[in-house]
Chains A and B, each alone.
Chain A
Amino acid sequence: KNQVEQSPQSLIILEGKNCTLQCNYTVSPFSNLRWYKQDTGRGPVSLTIMTFSENTKSNGRYTATLDADTKQSSLHITASQLSDSASYICVVSDRGSTLGRLYFGRGTQLTVWP
């Protein structure tokens, strides 16, 4: 069964600190993995997209890693800001359909305190 599991479920950090969010998946055949940021009451916004051959991709203070062998990904946030408070969702796409089927994790709810 294609699944995406994220940890931790929630995380509280102080402004300026770093944090790392984890994602494990069983989706096969694998196409790509994305990290989305979803602010409360808003739609998800893409942060990074990685294919099988990519190990690391950065977008400003966000750095995503992918280990396709162990089917694990992480999202590292550097020097957190209050505006980073949001849900971070790991999404995996399979190669098996023209639909571009996405499999969503439940997200990690990050809260950044001043």
Chain B
Amino acid sequence: KAGVTQTPRYLIKTRGQQVTLSCSPISGHRSVSWYQQTPGQGLQFLFEYFSETQRNKGNFPGRFSGRQFSNSRSEMNVSTLELGDSALYLCASSWGLAADNEQFFGPGTRLTVL
């Protein structure tokens, strides 16, 4: 079956702009989690959505938000971009909650903020 897909794969934005990233999970998976990966901070948890509800949230400012649709597809939005938001954004889907199940990662969206 098809894996997790993320669009776009690459993005270049300038400070102050906003961006929306999209994630399509594996068919049948109800949980989608988002992570930020940077060389300095490693893999940082942003949030987890399960059946359209935000289940868990990481320690990121309110500029980072997300949502999940009834078909389990998820979007992540970052408003008022800062240079420090440059990172690889990964989404991962799992059949149930991430803590109990293996997560399947998408290829990521590489965001560069100039």
State whether these chains interact. no
